[in-house]
Amino acid sequence: MPETPERNNILDYTPEELETIVTGMGGQKFRAKQVFGWLSKGAATYDEMSNVPKDLREKLAEKYPSWLPEAVRMQKSKDGTVKCLFRFADGTEVESVFMKYEYGNSICISSQCGCRMGCTFCASTMDGLARGLTGGEMLGQVLAMRNLTGSDIGHVVIMGMGEPFDNYEEVSRFIRLIHDSRGYGLGLRNITVSTCGIIPKIKEFAKDFPQVNLAVSLHAPNQQIRQKSMPVAKKYGYDELMRACREYTEITGRRITFEYAVIDGLNDSAACAEELAGRLKGWLTHVNLIPLNEVEGRDYRTANGKSVKRFKDILDKNGVAVTVRRTLGNDIDAACGQLRRRHAG
Ligand code: SAH
């Protein structure tokens, strides 16, 4: 079974861990904070770390030669969306997307290369899981994207390739690293993690990160429909998932977002909308209707505008908060693992 690789990237380490590394190389403790600060600013080489002694820089460079992923392909959309295929030192490639919103700039990062969840509408899972990314490799996507676009990034969503809760430890590490006030200092409420519904991790997450936003990919109003497209539903059933989500809102006091890709003929009927509304009525949720990105080699078609509107109206009528996701970057290889596949093919 593929595993998360050993951490080998200088971005993987907290300031405390860097202290051990730096003192082990004969450097003084306080140098760790300097290095962490430079890394968080997006430094790409040790030469930039001008206040760090040269001999320490050389020792660090020997053990941890490079850290930011290389942009091997980049697409820019007219609406400002930038999609990047990033390559890590071992050749692993993942996608990240930079988006402009009214409330600020946001990045969607990957947590794994490939995915083993097997959702039948998704491109990322078609070749299975290659490997999980380390926390530092997730941070590297944010820093490299900020360097490439020259823009501040104030929101991070972990909704790119992979299932974050199938790589929980490294996703947790990433959150702690990017939140650290000695570095990037991103607010926890500016981070969103999206899961396909791995229940034990939803419970852990509620306790570990009550301030981080949680999105759950639901895509169906019931078990029968959900398990048609999401194999994870066979292990973690619908009712149990709903209970876990309720528990999440009780523990954290926070709204949960349900993602719902509207797929023609599968989950877009009025009956589906009524059933979903019935389940969600009266609790703290938000439904994000996503027009499906059609993926080559998959049969699913996006629901037409009329049925998306009908779906939304039914939720509205029942007092369930709902929005239709704005489609960004339509003129480039939109979302969900398609750039990597196109590049490989
Ligand atoms: N594995 C996580 C996060 C990555 S996918 C999860 O399942 O939530 C991010 C979102 O995109 C999920 O809601 C996922 O179901 C959705 N998605 C995947 N393929 C899609 C497609 N072709 N069109 C629209 N949304 C898609």
**Structural domain includes residue 154:** yes
Model pLDDT, residue 4:
64
In a domain, 130, yes or no: yes
Same domain, 223 and 250: yes
The reply to whether 309 falls in a domain is: yes
Question: Do 86 and 58 lie in a common domain?
Answer: no
> From residue 287, how far is each of 56, 213, 290 by CA, in Å?
51, 14, 9
Q: Indicate if 119 and 160 belong to the same structural domain.
A: yes
Q: How far apart are CA 175 and CA 68, in angstroms?
A: 17
Scan for tokens 């949960």, then name that residue: 256
Task: Please report, for the domain that includes residue 26, its CATH number.
Answer: 1.10.150.530
Distance, CA 217 to ligand 1 centroid (Å)?
A: 7
Domain-located, residue 131: yes
Atom of ligand 1 nearest to the CA of 160: 4
273 lines ligand 1 (CB under 6 A): no
**Residue 14 belongs to a domain:** yes
> Is position 310 within any domain?
yes
Residue of 278, 295, 191, 288 lying closest to 242 (CA atoms):
278
Domain hosting 37: range is 10-63
Closest-CA residue, ligand 1 atom 1, reads 163
Q: How do residues 79-137 score in pLDDT, each as one tens digit?
A: 899 999 999 999 999 999 999 988 899 999 999 999 999 999 999 999 999 999 999 99
Angle between helix 54-63 and helix 15-24 axes, rounded to 10 deg: 110
Q: Give the pLDDT confidence score for residue 122 in this predicted structure.
A: 93
- Answer whether residue 190 is part of any domain: yes
Domain boundary among 26, 46, 63: 63
245-280 pLDDT per residue, tens: 999 999 999 999 999 999 999 999 999 999 999 999
User: In the predicted model, is pLDDT for residue 345 greater than 50?
Assistant: no
230/100 same-domain check: yes
Q: Is 300 in the pocket of ligand 1 (CB under 6 A)?
A: no
Residue 120 and residue 253 in one domain: yes
Please indicate, yes or no, whether residues 171 and 43 belong to a single structural domain of this protein. no
Query: Does the C-beta of 195 come closer than 6 Å to ligand 1?
Result: yes
Q: What percent of the chain has pLDDT over 90?
A: 86
pLDDT score recorded for residue 155: 97
| Atom 24 (ligand 1) nearest CA | 292
Last residue of a domain, one of 21, 40, 63: 63
pLDDT > 90? residue 176? yes
Ligand 1 centre to CA of 89 (Å) is 27
Q: Quick one: 31 and 77 in the same domain?
A: no
Q: Which residues contact 113 (CB under 8 A, 6 or more apart)?
A: 92, 93, 94, 129, 130, 131, 132, 133, 161, 162
Statement to judge: residues 144 and 250 lie in one domain: yes
- Ligand 1 in contact with 217 (CB < 6 A)? yes
| Least confident segment among 88-102, 232-246, 292-306 | 292-306
Q: What ligand 1 atom has the least distance to the C-alpha of 293?
A: 23
pLDDT at 316 over 80: yes
pLDDT for the residue numbered 329:
66
Cα of 192 vs centre of ligand 1, distance in Å, is 14
Between CA 151 and CA 345 the distance in angstroms is 31
Distance 245 CA to ligand 1 centre (A): 18
Q: Is the pLDDT of residue 61 over 90?
A: yes
When pLDDT is averaged across residues 171-181 and rounded to a whole number, the result is 98
Tell whether 44 and 122 lie within a shared domain.
no
State whether 80 and 208 are in the same domain.
Answer: yes
Nearest-angstrom CA–CA distance, 69 and 51: 24
Rounded to whole angstroms, the Cα distance separating 253 from 221 reads 24
214 and 314, same domain (yes or no): yes
Q: Which of 120-129, 202-211, 322-331 has the highest mean predicted lDDT (pLDDT)?
A: 202-211
Distance (Å, whole) CA 13 – CA 29: 14
Ligand 1 pocket test: pick from 205, 230, 259 the residue with the most ligand atoms within 8 Å of its Cβ.
Answer: 259
Kindly report the protein residue whose alpha carbon is nearest to atom 3 of ligand 1.
Answer: 159
Q: Are 168 and 176 in contact (CB under 8 A)?
A: no
The answer to whether residues 56 and 109 belong to one domain is: no
Provide mean pLDDT across the span 161-178.
98
Tell me which residues are annotated as active site.
95, 336
42 or 5: which carries more pLDDT confidence?
A: 42
Q: What is the CA(336)–ligand 1 centre distance, in A?
A: 7
3 within domain boundaries: no
Q: Of all protein residues, whose CA lies closest to atom 12 belonging to ligand 1?
A: 217
Atom nearest to 217 CA in ligand 1: 13
Ligand 1 binding pocket includes 198 (Cβ within 6 Å): no
Write the CATH number for 197. Answer: 3.20.20.70
Q: Evaluate if residue 1 carries a pLDDT over 70.
A: no
Count of domains for the chain = 2
Quote the CA–CA distance of 245 and 240 in Å, as a whole number: 9
pLDDT at 343: 53
Please tell me if the CB atom of residue 163 comes closer than 6 angstroms to any atom of ligand 1: yes
